[in-house]
Amino acid sequence: MLLLPAVALTALASVGTAQAESAPGCAGTVQIGSTGYVKKNGTIIASVKQFKGCGKNWAYTYVWDSYAAQPGGFSSSAAMVVNGDRDFNSNVNGRNKQDVWSKGTKTLTKCTRAYGEVWGDGNVYWGQTDERC
């Protein structure tokens, strides 16, 4: 009987959080830095994370279930910010995709942060991680 509540709590804790932890084509990615959040009117609608692996940095955006389930659809993107400038070459967009990985950048020796956007109701909401040097 005691396991059931613990299992239920564990399941609830994972709702809305990013599940994918490996960039496309790179199974050995690990998160670096803190998780950033995309907010709409103070409510979190997506998570933004930065990963390293395979000699590259990667940005990852995960749109939370609560926002993804709303009618009308959405778009999301993930990109790297390198030395304070957004790297548009790393940008990847997804229509109605809850998880989007940027293209990997060979920037492990530079100051980087992950940047994510979500839009679909006429507004663009964005968030980013802390900078890692």
Look up residue 70 and give its two tokens.
């709303």
Helix, strand or coil, per DSSP, at residue 7: helix
In the structure, what pLDDT confidence band is assigned to residue 2 with cuts at 50, 70 and 90? Answer: very low
In Å, how far are 20, 26, 55 from 43, measured between CA atoms? 22, 32, 35
Average pLDDT over residues 117-133: 95
36-91 confidence digits (pLDDT tens) = 999 999 999 999 999 999 999 999 999 999 999 999 999 999 999 999 999 999 99
90-104 confidence digits (pLDDT tens) = 999 999 999 999 999
pLDDT reported for residue 48: 98
DSSP 61-81: EEE-HHHHTSTT--EEEEEEE
